[in-house]
Structures are given as structure tokens and as C-alpha cells.
Amino acid sequence: MALIVVIIVIITALVFDFTNGFHDSANAMATSVATGAFSPKAAVAVAAVLNFAGAAMSTEVAKTISHGLVDDKLVTPEAVFAGLAGAILWNLITWFAGLPSSSSHAMFGGLIGAVVAWHGMNGVYVGNVLSKILLPALVAPVVAGLASVIATKIAYSAANQNHRQVEDAFQMGQRLTGSLVALAHGTSDGQKTMGIITLVLVAGGFQEAGTGPHFWVICAAGAAIALGTYSGGWRIMRTMGKGLVEIEPTQGFACEASATTAILVSSHLGFGLSTTHVVTGAILGSGLGRGTKVNWSVAGRMGIAWLLTLPAAGLIGAFSSLIAHQGIVGFVGVLAVIVVLAGVIVWRANKDRIDHTNVNDIKGADLSGDDAPYTVKYLDSDDDFKPVVRSKVIGETTDSDDVWQIPSARVRGWAPIIVHRPAISVVDALAPSGGAK
């Protein structure tokens, strides 16, 4: 295999690793960002460091890229390259749409498409695709969701939510569980890229078979996933943190603890579940457990994106495979098309930019209705912590996520309040249940 082919595949693998990072940073941090347990910048910084640490710690390379989904003899550098191309483009498309989807599924879909295009269906083990891809995708949100429903119900009944200590404790719990998810993500997904690069180096005769990844491979793969994570994937984070249900710290902890448990248990008891599917299921479950409004239309769109992941990435992989098999010109051609399409997607995304400054805003939200998507809490100067109330808009605005002083006459001596969302209009606060003081 020519050196240039090896270099192209390695670069493509690192780009995929980067998209994997920003696609999945929401899995670890969306709920913590939504509840304010982490500031957006701090969240991605912590997740990036832990992803790098996770990737660096896990250097045992998988023996195959395909995990038994296709005939390994057919997994040529062309197929790997085409599969990565499909995965990268699908990751960018779903990111643009703000939808979480499994990067591993995109990768497998691309690989399957690439093999089918060149060798036909005989190279694909359909039974394994059903049992290792489709079934876990159905099971993951249900199991994590069920755990989350129960955990959320218990958390709300056990602890009185009107104490600041309770909220602080749950936020701390969120920080720790979110960090554990980020670390676990680094160990599993960072290692996938190392595996791809190492197998390509071995196939090209640049590394002896059976040896572990080179030091530079570990560093490059870890750095790519960490940089991707740090860049945030804010579009997906907004959907997961704010688009499905309104998340409170108690609920966020119950959700994140359930997701963390599902990820660790599944990867150690032999039935691997996708982090994306687990976390999304847990968020939905926490909404159901708290009995709050769940945005099923967003959840439905996510479900459709999951179903499309395998065939869509497969289709791109198939086309890429046919072109890449035309030799080095084909490789470079596919690479050029990816770069152009990625550029277009990023350019379009920047027209409606979502970043750390507006990740917690909800586009088009009705701020005046009873379903105002923000909460106002009284932290009064005496000690008792008043219940959460929703506010009605009457005209004044705040531009920071800070403690904000409401004219005391309006709130009958209960200032200051904490407003959990920047740039909203806060006006009159409704009297909490139990009547005003």
C-alpha cells in the first residue's frame, strides 16, 4: 500500500475522531450545562481533558475494525476510508440539525456501505448487524430511561427541593457523574481511532502485526477527540439539555447517574450500548419521572435520525468506496468532496451560530406563557428557600446569568433572585404556592 494512501486514511481517521468528540461532548455535559452545574466553557474543558486522559489510558487495540459486522478480509484501506467518509459527513449533517446520533453506528454504517458497494451483500453479516446495532439501539434508551424514571421519582421524594444544600449537592453529583461519562467516552471512542490507524499501519507494512499503537498515534487520537470535545458541539448540547425536557439539578443528577450506570454496566457485562442512546433515554426518563412536559416531537426527530444513521452513512460510504477504488485519484477526489461539503455545512451553521453564549436559549420560545421555559428562584435574605416559581414577563431584562436584584417592592422583600437564563425578561414573580408573605 502506498504511503500516500496510509497518510490519507490516518488524516481521515483523525478528522472522524474530531467529529466524534464534538458530537458526543453533549452526552457527558448537556445536563450539567443546562442546570448550571458547569458553566458551558468549564464543561467542555473538563470533558476534553477527561477524553484525552481516557484515550491515553486505553491503548489495547481491537483486533478488528468491523467487530464481526462484515467479512474482515474485505475491510481494505479503501473500505475503511470510505466508511470514515460516510461517518464524518453524517456526523456533520446531524450536528447541523442539532441531533445526537451514535458516531460508532455512523462508522459501522459507512463501512458496511463501502463493503456492499464493492463486494455485494455477501460480505455483510446481517444477523450481527441486527443483534449488535439495531437491538442495542432499541434497548439502550428503554433501559436507561426506565432507570432514570425510577431514580428521578425517588430523588424528588427523598429530598426536599427547597433547600439550597440539596440543590448544591445534586449539582456536585452532576459534575462527578458527567465527568465519569467523559472519561468512559475517551477510553472507548479514542481507542477506536487508535485501532483504525494501527490496523492501517500494519496493513501498509509500516508496523509489525500484533504490536500496540505507537506513542504518536495515542497522542494524535487523544488530541483529536479532546479538541473535538472542547469545540463543544453546542447545537447538539442545546437540543439535549434544553430541547427535550426542562432539567433541574435533582433530575439532572438522577438522569446522569442512570446514564453513567448503564454505560459502565453495559460495557462490562458484554452487551455494549451506545452512549448517545443511553443519555438521550435517561434525559427523557428523568422528564417522565419528574412529571414535566416532554417534547416528543424533538424526541421523534432523534429517533428518525438514529434509524437513518446506518443507511445514510452506508450510502455515502458506498459512493465513496466506488470512487476510492479507482486508485489514488479517487482517494483525493473523495477527500476533496468531503472538505467542500464540510465547508458548506459549517458555513451554513455559522449563519445561525450556536455556541457557549447561547447554548441554553430556546429558539422561538414563548416567554410570556405559563410554560415560560425558565425558572426563577428566590434565595431570600432570611434562611428559608422559597419554592421554584415561574415568572411572567412584564418588561425588565437581565443580561447575565447572575444573581439579579428585583426591585424589592415587587417581590415583597424576597430579593435577590437567581435567574437561570441569560437575556430573558423577568418581571413580576408569581406568588409561590402557599401565598405571598
Partner 1 sequence: MNIDWSALLLVSVVTVGVATVVVTIFAYGAAKLAAAHQAQTEGRPAGWNAVLAKIMFGTVGAIGLFGLYLVIPYFH
- Summarize as ranges the residues that interact with partner 1 (CB under 8 A): 54, 57-58, 60, 127-128, 130-131, 135, 139, 143-144, 146-148, 150-152, 154-155, 158-160, 163, 165-166, 169-170, 173, 176-177, 180, 183-184, 187, 250, 253-254, 257-258, 260-262, 264-271, 273, 383
User: Exposed/middle/buried for 425, CB within 10 Å: 0-12, 13-18, 19+?
Assistant: middle
Helix (H) or strand (E) holding 64: none
CA distance 187 to 196: 15
Strand-pairing partners, residue 70, are 124
Nearer to partner 1, 59 or 101 (CB): 59
CA distance 68 to 306: 21
Query: Are the CB atoms for 279 and 181 separated by under 8 Å?
Result: yes
Nearer to partner 1, 58 or 76 (CB): 58
Nearer to partner 1, 113 or 173 (CB): 173
Helix (H) or strand (E) holding 271: none
Nearer to partner 1, 166 or 379 (CB): 166
Grid cell of 60 as nine digits: 489495547
372: alpha, beta or left? (left if phi > 0; alpha if psi -120 to 50): beta
Provide the minimum distance between the beta carbon of 162 and partner 1 in the complex, in angstroms, as a whole number: 9
Alpha carbons within 13 angstroms on the beta-carbon side of residue 229 total: 34
Helix (H) or strand (E) holding 386: none
Nearer to partner 1, 29 or 117 (CB): 29
Compute the radius of gyration of the chain from its Cα atoms: 23
Nearer to partner 1, 269 or 409 (CB): 269
Nearer to partner 1, 264 or 304 (CB): 264
Nearer to partner 1, 5 or 262 (CB): 262
Strand-pairing partners, residue 378, are 417
Helix (H) or strand (E) holding 394: strand 391-398
Helix (H) or strand (E) holding 139: helix 135-158
Strand-pairing partners, residue 424, are 398
Exposure letters 202-229 (e unless 16+ CB within 10 A, then b): ebbeebeeeeebbeebbebbbbbbbbbb
Grid cell of 311 as nine digits: 443507511
Provide the minimum distance between the beta carbon of 250 and partner 1 in the complex, in angstroms, as a whole number: 8
CA distance 373 to 288: 17
Provide the minimum distance between the beta carbon of 370 and partner 1 in the complex, in angstroms, as a whole number: 28
Q: Among candidates 182, 221, 184, 183, which has minimal Cα distance to 199?
A: 221
Residue 118: how many other CB atoms lie within 10 Å = 18
- φ, ψ of residue 71 to 5 degrees: the values are -65, 120
- φ, ψ of residue 77 to 5 degrees: the values are -55, -35
Provide the minimum distance between the beta carbon of 415 and partner 1 in the complex, in angstroms, as a whole number: 20
Nearer to partner 1, 102 or 148 (CB): 148
Nearer to partner 1, 262 or 312 (CB): 262
Provide the minimum distance between the beta carbon of 163 and partner 1 in the complex, in angstroms, as a whole number: 4
Provide the minimum distance between the beta carbon of 269 and partner 1 in the complex, in angstroms, as a whole number: 5
Grid cell of 64 as nine digits: 478488528
Nearer to partner 1, 109 or 281 (CB): 281
Provide the minimum distance between the beta carbon of 151 and partner 1 in the complex, in angstroms, as a whole number: 4
Pairing of strands 376-378, 417-419: antiparallel
Provide the minimum distance between the beta carbon of 204 and partner 1 in the complex, in angstroms, as a whole number: 27
Provide the minimum distance between the beta carbon of 166 and partner 1 in the complex, in angstroms, as a whole number: 5
Provide the minimum distance between the beta carbon of 70 and partner 1 in the complex, in angstroms, as a whole number: 15
Provide the minimum distance between the beta carbon of 108 and partner 1 in the complex, in angstroms, as a whole number: 16
